[in-house]
Amino acid sequence: MENLKTKDSYLEGKKIALGLSGGIDSVVLLHFLHQHYPSQLRVIHCNHHLSEHCDEWHLFCQNLCKSLDIAYTSIDLYLEKSSNIEENARKKRYYSLSCDLQENEVLCTAHHQNDQAETLLLQLFRGSGVAGLASMPKQKPLGKGIHYRPLLEIDKSQILAYAKRHKLSWVEDESNKDVNFRRNFLRLEVIPQLSKVYKNLTKTLSRSTKHQAEALKLTRELAMIDLKSADIVNNQGRIQIKPLIKFETHRIKNILRYQLNALQFLAPSDKVMHQIIDLLHAKDDANPLIQWQEFEIRRYQSQLYFINNNQPKDLKKCPFQAEFEKMPNFSIRYKVEAQRIKLPGKTHSQSLKKVLQEARIPPWERGLLKMYYIDNELQAMQQLGRMEHAD
């Protein structure tokens, strides 16, 4: 959509959820969507409880939706104090919105061309690569639906003109004037100065993000070609190190970034990426670990394991637990040092450590495996199956 005068063909026939803050951008988008898709629309408001006026904004949004007969939901978010409150608020907001989205529903947010220009400069000053410089995509998967930005090619001046023409009311967030926030600093001080020298600056910067998005698409297509040609990722989603290291370093990094993005991991810094490259060349018997935020990469038996510690664990019960837990004198235990077990069909007991190694179970998972006992007799163990008791 290049203007606010015609319908957005992408939204035809779709269920729409609008993220409404109460600011001018989202109020304009609400008015536009209500005019063209009234029966397809509902509204979600996120209350971050960061301003003394937050409850007033909630009431404004609620009353506005009531006057338009639009379904309204408010989500309360409570944030811990941190040095990067903007980023934490954004993450929590989108997580909550993704959880609220229905199947195939489109979440619309009011990001516009000027926001895109600011995002590009923020990413540039952070030293970001192609993925960061591609900035905000027009649309991407989110939860069970799609996150869509219909105003991304609309300049702020068009939004202001639309609000004036339709005599709209909105709320002002006082934090938008605080230049201690980097985005505000760019918007209020840097971009106005640059615009005096470079005409149509926001449009030009927005065009650059499109070029970066095309470059990003090419790098991901190359990664897919490399992954397929060398059979690098196995059925468990682990990377096979031996075929990976046959590529040059820049291609290896591209493959790793592609895989991390596919797993929805936060992109690693240059420092972390260098550590991952070093990890590829560790000794075969090494069990090294790379960590950044909640993410981990481990190496075991020439494979890379990708672990998200914030991801919910599999809550399905082991079938052996379901079988034994109703029996009398049932207990769950975990392995101990120098423990020996006896597998069915074996004449002698074996070291549990050796059995776990032969089963290719990573060392960091072994201590978490449940062992099921009846009357102090070992009956079965997660991932290994049934067994006979041994010392």
Domain map (residue ranges) of the chain: 9-207, 231-308, 319-386
Q: What is the pLDDT of residue 218?
A: 97
Specify whether domain 231-308 bears CATH 1.20.59.20: yes
Instruction: List Cβ<8 Å contacts ≥24 apart for 276-284.
Output: 277/249, 277/252, 277/253, 279/304, 280/241, 280/244, 280/245, 280/252, 280/304, 281/245
Q: What is the pLDDT of residue 391?
A: 58
CB contact at 8 A, 85 and 79 = yes
Q: What is the pLDDT of residue 49?
A: 86
Q: What is the three-class DSSP state of 60?
A: helix
Phi, psi of 363 (to 5 degrees): -55, -40
Tally of CA atoms within 13 A in the half-sphere of 336 that contains its CB: 6
Q: How far apart (Å, rounded) are the C-alpha atoms in residues 327 and 334?
A: 19
CB contact at 8 A, 44 and 20 = yes
Looking at the DSSP assignment, which residues form a beta bridge with residue 332? 372
Low-confidence ranges of the chain (pLDDT < 50): none
Q: What is the three-class DSSP state of 236?
A: coil
Classify residue 188 by its DSSP letter: I
* CATH entry, 9-207, from 3.10.560.10, 3.40.50.300, 3.40.50.620, 3.90.1150.10: 3.40.50.620
pLDDT digits (tens, 9 = 90+) for 83-122: 577 778 888 899 999 999 999 999 999 999 999 999 999 9
pTM of the predicted model as reported, rounded to 2 decimal places: 0.81
